[in-house]
Each structure stands twice: as C-alpha cells, then as structure tokens.
Structure 1
Amino acid sequence: MTRRIVRTGIQLGLLTTIVFLLVFLLDNRYRVLPQSIHSHLPLHHEGLVITDITVQTCSSLNPLSSCKLDQDKWHRIEKDLYLSTGWVSKAYVYIKRKREEELTDEDKVILDIRTGKLDPAMGEKSQAAEKWESRPAGVWLKRSAKRHASDSKKVVTAVDLLFGADAVEPRPGWELIKPGALLLETGGEIGEARLTIRRGPPQKIEKPVPRIRKDGKFKIMQVSDLHLSTGLGECRHPEPKGHNGGRCDADPRTLEFVERVLDEEKPDFVVLSGDQVNGDSAPDAQTAMFKIVQVLVERKIPYAAIFGNHDDEGSLTRGAMMSLLESLPYSLSEAGPNTIEGVGNYYVEVLAHQNKHSALTLYFLDTHGYSPDERQFKGYDWLKVNQINWFKTTAKTLRDSETHKHYTHIHLDMSFIHIPLPEYALKSNPIVGTWKEGVTAPGFNSHFKDALVEEGVKAVSCGHDHVNDYCALSTNEKTGEGDLWMCYAGGSGFGGYGGYDGYHRRLRVFEIDANEARISTWKRVEYGDIGARLDEQVIVDAGKVVAAQS
C-alpha cells in the first residue's frame, strides 16, 4: 500500500510538471519578438485607437496560471511589470485596439485613464456622463462611444510602460498617468510600473539644423558615462564623502549636475558619448534613457548619442536603443549604414550662420564593447576596417561637396567615440588635465588615429575611463608638430565608479569660433569650484593644431 501511494504521488508530481511546462510553452508562443527587441516599441499602429486595457498576472507556482489572453482580442505590451525580478509572479498589460474607421456605435474608446485605489469620480466636482470603470492593478478607465470627429484628438491611441518613481516622458503628445504606479507588490521604487499614453495621432518631429551663432561661436557640451538606472539608482563612490549627510541618489544628483551646467553654459549642441545607461541596473533601459533626453528636450537643445560598453547590457539592444533615439525630439542620432560594423556610425553637419555651407563636421563612431578575441587581445573591442574605410570615404566625399567647397572660412572637423584609442596611453604625449587611472584602450590597434589625422580631423574626444579627463597632444614624428588632440570628457554619473583621490564628477565643453577657425575646451565639475572653467585651453587656432600654452 505504501509503495502504491508513493508511486501515485510521483505520477501526480510528473503530471503537474508536464502541465506546467505545457502552459509555459503555450504562454511563450505569444511572445512574437524577444523583449530586448520589442519592448522599446509602444504598442500602437497608425489609425488604431485603444478600446480597453487590463492587467494579467500569473504565478509560476500554479501550473494552471497563465499570463496569456486571447491573442485575437488582446495585444500584450512586452514588458513584465515585475521587470523579471519576481521568481514567482509575472504580470503584463494588455490592450484592445481597433481601426478608427471600423468602430461601431457599440464600441467604446478610452478618453481618460487614472491609477489608484479609489474611484476617481469621488474627487470630481461634476458628474460626467461616462463612469469610471475599474481594472486590475488599480487601473481606472473612462470610456465612451466615439461620437464626433473631434474625439480623434482626445482618445487614447497608444500605450507604453515606464518604471520607477523618477520616470519621465519626453515624447511629444505622451503623458504619464497620474497619480502614480500600478498597484502591484513589486518590492521597491525601481519596479514601480507606470502607464504612459498618447492621445490622438503621432506628432511629427522636425529634426533641428545646427548652425553657427551670429557671433561666430558654437558650443558643444560632451556628457559621458552618465550611468543612469531604472529608478533612482545607487551612488557609487560619491565625492566628497559625507556630502549631504551621506545621502545620495545617483540619478537625481547626476541630472542636477548636468542641468546646472546646461543652464550656465547654454550649449548649442550636446554629445552623449556612451554609457548613458548603467547596464544591468537598467532592467528598463528606455526609462533610463528618457531621463537625460527629457533634460535636453525641455531646453530645446539638439543632441547626438553614441553607445558605450554598458548601454546594451540592460533591456535593449544597440539597434533597439538607436531606433528609440532616432524617434525622439531634438535628436540627431543615427544608426548609420548597416553595411559596416556597429550601430551609430554617422556624422552631423553644423552649418554656417546664414547659408547652407558646412562650417563644422562632427563624426561619431561606435567603438563597440568587449574584445572579440580575449585570448590574444584582452579588454575592449576596436574600430573595424570597414568603419575606418567608411569614415575616410565619407570625409573625402564631404570635402568635395558643394556645401564644403563654397564655405568661405576654414572648415573644422571633430570626432567623438566612447572607448579611447591606444594612442591615448602614450606617455610621451604632452597632456593637459588629470590622468588618474590606466587607459583601458583596445589591445589591438586598428590605427583609427592615423585615419583621423589623414582626413584633417583636429580633435577626438572619448569617455569610458571615468577619472581621466586630460587632453593629450599627438605629434607628427617627422615634423614634431601637433597633429591631433585626444581628449577625455571625464565621468559625469554617480551610478558609475569614481572616488579616485577626491575626484569629482565632471564634463567637457568645446567652443568653436568659426571666424577664427579656433577650438577651445575646458571642464566643469560637480562639486567644489563649480563655476570655474577647469584646464581651459586652445587646441586649434587658424585651423591648425596648437600646443598647450604653459
């Protein structure tokens, strides 16, 4: 009898396991694209309106529990509301949608959404005809039959999810649902899932055209290694120690620093030179990226971004992140040609003040991540031959173009990368600034520095090594004259490492004087003499690389 009971128990256990696996496999059939590809795309299509929203929760402990709904009626937003941190529970937002022209008199469209425990009608002074309808996780919907064409501007047409108490929404026409997060036991502010919606059709985004100012100047602020997280983020090596009573939230402090310098320097252009996202501390990379974008959009500052080795360690691939950046206001970021390696090989032209002639060309290249051949070349990846060939061909083509040839002043060229070139580590190079850590350049030299010099680029600037902030002067071996300035931005984010001998977070500014063909540069720090220009120097004058003045 005992053996029979044991055998029966084993059989039931196996049966339960099989049922669980079948439910799991069936549920995963509905994940058309992996989250790393799909999650950056809000679930909407042109001409569709949202007619209903719900939240579906499931448990891995219950083999009959499933996070799937009828795929012919419901469409899932591919972001687990628990950010894949719940080993027991998962939850997803589902929406119903329909083409606007196919709506019938019986169909309802969503006019408003709220979140909270209580019926929003309790706080309304007037009693509207439409009642608030309750949905799981504290979602409240106000729905109505679509009666007039003017309703098209009011109805909800797209739904997305962001996370954390400090989530922001920089996309035009979008708004975060108030008063707060969905009602789920997600365990901390990082997992606070927040609905964000768009009303009406998508707004057309015009790309800005960077131009030299009337006074002949153009200022670039390089912000590197922000290391933003999903949620407030944890401070790493905050300096000075004990500041603000030892309290430090990484992202708010980082963004406060960047915003202060933006308001004081008033740059014409911002370069985000990699590691904007803090890798595995950003289980929703979209939320992290939106924080710095919001800062720039509020100030209407054009910007361009490249990626570092940590950006794609969160929830998004490089391609998905660049696709997102390309769609955002004031962004001049581009994926670049898909025939060469990397995502983010492109250039931006800065035009003269009053015509379409190019005064300054900024080249951006993807320095990838970690070495593909760790046994032979330890550390980090390098710029590939096809990238360098693309750069050289592009530079020659631009020089021969009408917009360059007819420019009446000396044309200037700069380049931005994330991982430093091997030449940054040459001790023989004169430097201006601070060299506090080893240069973590690639172990293999693909000689991009030589290509920069050959094509007339006068300055290149990188990030990656947070507590190096120097500019190093490369010199021609034959003439002994300077041929390229190689600069660091310095690390700006408190989510990344620091703490080398009281080193404070910082960023770099370049000012171009098109009338004099001059480039000057300096740094600004987060703490201490915060208004000072640190290590200010002229690196290019009359279109030629100049040595630092002693």
Structure 2
Amino acid sequence: MTRRIEPEANVPCRSQVRTIVQVTTAAVFTFIIIFFLDRNFRVLPSAIHEYLPTHHAGLVLTDLTITRCASYNIFSSCNLDPEVWHRVDKDLYLGKSTFSSAYLHIRRKREEELLPDDKVVVDVTVGRLDPSTSAAHKGKASPDERWESRPNGLWVKRSSKRGASDSKDAVTAVDLLFGDDATEARPGWTITGTPLLLDASSSIPPAHITIRRGPHQTPPKPVPRVGDNGRFKIMQLADLHLSTGVGHCRDYLPPDWNGGKCEADPRTLDFVEKILNEERPNLVVLSGDQVNGDTAPDAQSAIFKYAQLLIKYKIPYVSIFGNHDDEGSLSRAAQMDLIETLPYSLSKAGPADIDGVGNYYIEILARGKSDHSAITVYLLDTHAYSPNEKKFKGYDWIKKNQIDWFRETAQGLKKSHKQYTHVHLNVAFIHIPLPEYRDGNLTFIGEWKEPVTAPVYNSGFRDALVEEGVVMVSCGHDHVNEYCGLSMGENDKPALWMCYGGATGFGGYAGYGGYHRKIRIFDFDMNEARVTTWKRVEYGEDVNNRIDELILVDAGHPVAPMQE
C-alpha cells in the first residue's frame, strides 16, 4: 500500500512525487516476488495457473457459492468479481465434462476488517434437504443463524453475532477433495456432508467440500530415533499408483477378490495397513509414483490417502517423486509444498539451486537422549524422461549438481557422524534404478522379471555412493523386479547393495508372469551395525511369511550372501 504525503500547499513537489513512485514500485515488485516464489524461494512452474492449497491465517469466510458455465455458450462464465470472490481453482467436473465446468467461490475477510453488518460462516454442509429439518440440526439454529441454500446442494450457515469470528465454530478455510474414498489428512480439516450434487457421469469422481475451523494447526513432526533395543525398521512403499477415486486394478491375482470387483486403491491401502500392523516400522519411505498421474486429475486427493493412513499409525515418513507423480494436476514443487505441511511428514523440497525436487537427507538419531546420528538416509530425485530422447532414449538421470551436492553433504556430515559411539550407517533411496542395476555380473537375491529401465546415460552416482560410504540403495520404478544385487568394488570386495522395493500398488502394471504385490522391509540392528532385508507379499502361500530374507550389511560393511 502506498502512503500519500500531503505537502503544505497541497501541491506535490518533485521529491514527494519521487517518493510516492518509489514506494509504489517497491510494493509492486515485492508482490510479484511473493506471488511467484513459494516459501522455499523456488520459482514455481505455471505459478499463475496451477492450483495450490492455501492457508489464510487470520481470515474468516463470509460466504460460499458455486458457479457453472457451459463451453458451448460464449456468454457463460464461471468467474465472479475477483475483488470480492476467491475461486478455488479445481473444476468440480475435473475437466472431464464435455459441456460444463463449475467452480467453488469463497468470500473472506480478515477478522479485524469485519464490519457490523458482515456475516461469518459458522457451518457448511451438502445435501438435498434443508439441514434445519434434520434431527442432527433441529433446534440448534438461532434466528440469526439459519441455513442458506446455494447451488448444487451446498448449504451455508452464517452468523452476524458479535464475536462469531472468534468462535471455535467459525469456518476459516475451505477446499475440495474428490472420489468416493476421499479422506482428509490435515489437522483441523473435515469433509462435510454428501458429495456435491452435480449432473456428472459416473466416471467423474464426486466432489466433496472440506472445511477447517479455527487457525492453522502445527502438524506433529517427530524425530526418528533408534529404539532402546538398538533396532530401527524402515518400510519401503514403491509405486503405490494411487488415483483420484478408487482406481482400476491392473494385472491382479486372484481374478476375483473376496467375491467382488477389485478396486485398486482400497486393496492397495488394505495391504499397506496389514503390513504396518504386522511389521510396525519406525519410518516409511515412499520411493516414487505414489500418484498414478493419468488417473489422478486431483493429485491432492490421492496424496491424502496414503498420508491419512500413516498419520493414523503415527509413523514418520519421507517421500520422493517418480516419473508419474506430476503427470496429474500438480507439479513436483506444488506436491512437495503440500506434503511438507502434513503431520508426520519429514519430506523436504531440498536446495532450490539443485536439479529436481526432493534432494535431501534425514538423520535417525541414536538411542536414548543422544543427539548423535546413527543412520543417515539420503533421498534424491531421479526425474522422469530423458531430456535428449534422440541421443539417450528412455529415462532421465541424476544430474552432476545433485551428485556434487550429495558428495559435499556426505563429507560435511562425517565429522559429526564420528561422534556416534557405534558404527554409523549411510543408506539411500531413489525411484529410477541406476544403470548398474542391469549389470549381469551382480550377485542377486530375488526376482529379476523384466528389463531394467535405467537411464542410458550413466552420470556416475553409483561410484559417488560407494566413495561416500553408502552401503545400500533401493529404488522402485520397475514393478516386477524385486531383487537385491551386490555390486563389487576394488579387489573384488562387496561395495554396494542395490535393491528394488517391489511394486505395492494395484493401479500400476504387474505382468511378466503372475506378480504378487510386495513391500520391502529393512531392519537395522545398530548393536551389530547390521542391515537385514525381506519382503512381504499381498497374496499367495507366503502371505504371512518373510520372503528372500537377506543380510545386506554386517559390522557396517556390505557382505556377500551366505552360501547355503
């Protein structure tokens, strides 16, 4: 905002005009910077057009409505006066209707700017009938607070009572989620009422209103720590391939499931929850392709499904992206900006000047009250498709500045790691496998069922891992490869274990001869500096057993498999 300077004679002098121009220019420049940069100071691609979940501290809602427009009518518009209304930029039809679009709009004000005649939204629901006629709401509304009808089954209750904006009932934010299985993962947020009443086909996931009351709540972010018994367990979830809505199962066994139709996301999440219950991991690593891009027109709804489950079990988790995650509605930057705010998420965008989103590490602290790191987990973005398809067909590779960042980070941490009284361990997770995964000379345990779709160009990350003391790296991407392969170093000594997670999600492919979805576990025994791995299967005769159990690391060093 500019500040007007009144001269004594009411005639602005040249210096005063210059001051006004400078202040105005600075304000506009500041606004542009804030608008186009996220809170990690990264320039967001498609910053103007891309939906980002918003949190409006100090704001309350004063009204909601829905607009609908027809593509065949040039005079039809889904926009309202932007000076008055804020549009939630998610088409209620998710862009899937041939003729219609519809948008939710909200009016909001800062509490200190409310006028005596302003009304504050204190409740929102969706349904065909006036909520005041239902048993749940009967007798609760005062003459000042009555339900007002809005389009598509939306009902809004507003109050002009003094202090309504300070009430715990005041609605401070609203959003949209999609699908019959939509769920909230944000603290203080609740899906309200039935789906919005739209004349949409059954193939379009239904839209749900979700609201927050009161201020933004700070989510819990626990610090992972080795247990008092010296153990720490990591569960890797590879290739969940979650959709907006329940999704469609691909290559699944058995052909009929519990006497009914296989629904991809519910079956995937049931599998994950079963293993969470049985293995009780201390950390979950989501190693990419959590979102099945082409079936997730609202990536946020897909993300909340796995997040809600991990939050329910109070398990810290970290995530990186695969080649499909950002093929839906949100870019990597926008997704990470959302994921960073969720409870129990330890995920990070990483340095802004390094290629990719999600180059970071976390420290697993030693047992007790020690501040020393026992395990360092590195996570790097392997990007998506080759930037030079003519020369290097297929997939992208880890860039030089990522490798330089990794080396500098690892070397910078060595001094503090030496303070740990036992053997410190370094491990890494990526999505797309390294070129060395296709080495035919690997000693491997597990199934190698499909060609390794690693990048053609080898940027040398495997060598950097070995040189900086990483003992194990695990990836996803190739759904039915589920082996761990031992890469040898100088003097033919074991140098690095390279594992696959084994695909977990039913929304992704799983052909090549009857693959059953799997989850990989890594068990760290810090008393012995030992890492043991095994897999759990979703269906079949080994459903309650550990599969391909293998010691990868002993006394802090990669070891060859024991001969039977």
| TM-score strictly above 0.5 | yes
**Residue number in structure 1 paired with 2:12:** none
1:430 matched residue in structure 2: 443
Say if 2:521 is the partner of 1:509.
yes
Structure 2 SS opposite 1:312: helix
| Letter paired with 2:544 | G
Residues 165 and 190, structure 1, Cα contact 8 Å, conserved in 2: no
Matching residue's letter, 1:512 = F
In the alignment, structure 2 segments of 5+ residues that lack a partner are 1-34, 37-43
Shift of 1:412: 0.2
CA-CA distance at 1:37 after TM superposition: 6.8
For 1:240 and 1:414, the matched residues in 2 are separated by 35
User: 2:360 is matched with which residue?
Assistant: 346
Q: Is the Cα–Cα contact under 8 Å of residues 256 and 262 in structure 2 kept in the other structure?
A: no
The partner residue of 1:481 within 493, 498, 511 is 493
CA contact under 8 A between 2:395 and 2:453: conserved in structure 1?
yes
After superposing the two structures, state which structure 1 stretch, 244-253 or 350-359, moved more.
244-253
Q: Which residue of 2 is the match for residue 309 of structure 1?
A: 323
For the residues of structure 2 that align with 1:152 and 1:62, how far apart are their CA atoms? 43
> Is 2:239 aligned against 1:225?
yes
Structure 1 residue 150: Cα displacement: 7.9
Classify the secondary structure of the residue corresponding to 1:207: coil
For residue 66 of structure 1, what is the amino acid of its counterpart?
Answer: S
How many angstroms does 1:189 deviate by? 6.0
Aligned to 2:4: none
- Deviations for 1:320-345, whole angstroms, at most 9, x for unmatched residues? 00101111110010010011101000
Match of 2:278, SS state, is helix
Q: Aligned pair 1:543/2:543, yes or no? A: no
Equivalent residue number for residue 431 of structure 2: 418
For the pair 1:210 / 2:206, whether they are aligned, the reply is: no
Residues 35/448 of structure 1: CA separation in 2 closer, same or farther (3 Å cut): closer
Once the two structures are superposed, what CA deviation does each residue of 1:223-245 show, in whole Å capped at 9, x if it has no partner? 01000000010111112233434
Structure 1 unaligned residues grouped into runs of 5+: 1-30
Q: Deviations over 1:71-127 (max 9, x none)?
A: 111110011111011121110000000111111221111111110110011113425
Query: Which of 335, 341, 351 is matched with 1:327 structurally?
Result: 341
- 1:10 aligned residue: none
**Aligned-partner SS, 2:226:** coil
| Distance in 2 between residues matched to 1:127 and 1:112, nearest whole Å | 12
Give the structure 2 partner of residue 261 of structure 1.
275
Partner SS state of residue 396, structure 1: helix
Change (3 A) 1:468 1:116: same
Letter in 2 for 1:287: S
Distance in 2 (alpha carbons) for counterparts of 1:456 and 1:43? 41
Q: Is the 8 A contact 2:60 2:165 kept in 1?
A: no
What SS does the corresponding residue of 1:54 show, helix, strand or coil?
A: strand
Q: Is the 8 A contact 1:37 1:317 kept in 2?
A: no
Confirm or deny: 8 A CA contact 2:241 2:505 kept in the other structure: yes
Q: In the TM superposition, what are the counterparts of 1:271-282 in structure 2 within 5 Å? A: 271-282=285-296
Cα contact 2:164–2:170 (8 A) shared by 1: no
- 1:441 alignment partner in structure 2: 454
* SS in structure 2 at match of 1:527: coil
Superposition deviation, residue 187 in structure 1:
1.3
| Displacement after TM superposition at 1:52 (Å) | 0.2
Residues 265 and 507 of structure 2 are in contact (CA less than 8 Å); yes or no, is this contact kept in structure 1?
yes
Flag the 1:34–1:137 CA change in 2: closer, same or farther, 3 A. Answer: farther
Indicate the SS of the match to 2:504.
Answer: coil
Match of 1:9 in 2: none
**1:484 aligned partner, one-letter code:** L
The within-5 A match list for 1:99-138 is 99-123=110-134, 124-129=137-142, 130-138=145-153
Q: Distance in 2 between matches of 1:167 and 1:116?
A: 17
Q: Which deviates further from its counterpart, 347-356 or 205-214?
A: 205-214
What letter corresponds to residue 200 of structure 1 in structure 2? G
CA distance in 1, matches of 2:163, 2:260: 57
Give the letter aligned to residue 399 of structure 1.
K
Contact 2:433/2:475 (CA < 8 Å) preserved in 1?
A: yes
TM-score by length of structure 1 reads 0.91
Aligned to 1:94: 105
What displacement does 1:53 show? 0.2
Report the RMSD for the aligned CA atoms in angstroms: 1.7
Who is 1:16 aligned against?
Answer: none
Letter of the structure 1 residue corresponding to residue 315 of structure 2: I
Residue 84, structure 1, aligned to residue 87, structure 2: no
Q: Deviations along 1:376-433, whole A, 9 cap, x unmatched? A: 11110000000001000000000023xx221100000000000000100011111000
Bigger mean CA deviation after superposition, 333-342 or 38-47: 38-47
1:389 matched to 2:404? The reply is yes
Aligned equivalent of 1:4: none
1 CA distance for matches of 2:50 and 2:190?
18
2:65 maps to: 54
Separation in structure 2 between the aligned mates of residue 304 and residue 44 of structure 1, nearest angstrom: 22
What is the CA deviation profile of residues 452-480 of structure 1, one whole-angstrom value per residue up to 9, with x for unaligned ones?
A: 0000000000000000000000012x411
Identify which of 173, 188, 192 aligns with 1:173.
Answer: 188
CA drift at 1:148: 2.7
Amino acid at match of 1:459: M
Contact 2:93 2:204 in 1 (8 A): no
Determine whether 1:491 maps to 2:503: yes
1:518 matched to 2:533? no
Contact kept? 1:212, 1:218, Cα under 8 Å: yes
**Structure 2 CA distance for partners of 1:195 and 1:120, relative to 1, 3 Å:** same
The alignment status of 1:455 with 2:506, answered yes or no, reads no
**2:77 is aligned with 1:66:** yes
Cα distance in 2 between the residues matched to 1:281 and 1:483: 40
Structure 1 letter corresponding to 2:80 = L
Rounded to whole Å, the distance in 1 between the matches of 2:204 and 2:184 is 16
Report the CA distance between 1:39 and its aligned residue. 5.3
What residue identity is the alignment partner of 1:495? Answer: G
Note the alpha carbon deviations across 1:246-266, whole angstroms, 9 max, x for none. Answer: 610000000000010001100
CA distance, structure 2, for counterparts of residue 445 and residue 40 of structure 1: 36
Q: 336, 339, 350: which is aligned to 1:336? A: 350
Q: Which residue of 1 aligns with 2:311?
A: 297
The SS at the match of 1:93 is strand
Kindly indicate whether the alpha-carbon contact (under 8 Å) linking 1:379 and 1:442 is maintained by their aligned counterparts in 2.
yes
Q: Distance in 1 between matches of 2:91 and 2:140?
A: 36
- Partner deviation per Cα, 1:146-173 (whole Å, 9 max, x = no partner): 4237834220001111001000001000
- Structure 1 residue identity aligned to 2:61: I
Are the structure 2 counterparts of residues 380 and 98 from structure 1 closer, same or farther at C-alpha, using a change threshold of 3 Å?
Answer: same
- Matched ranges for 1:6-17 at <5 A: none
Q: Is the 8 A contact 1:42 1:158 kept in 2?
A: no
Question: In the alignment, which residue of structure 1 is the partner of 2:265?
Answer: 251
1:11 aligns with: none
SS of the residue 2:470 aligns to: coil
Matched-pair identity in %: 61
Contact 1:285 1:316 in 2 (8 A): yes
* 1:21 alignment counterpart: none
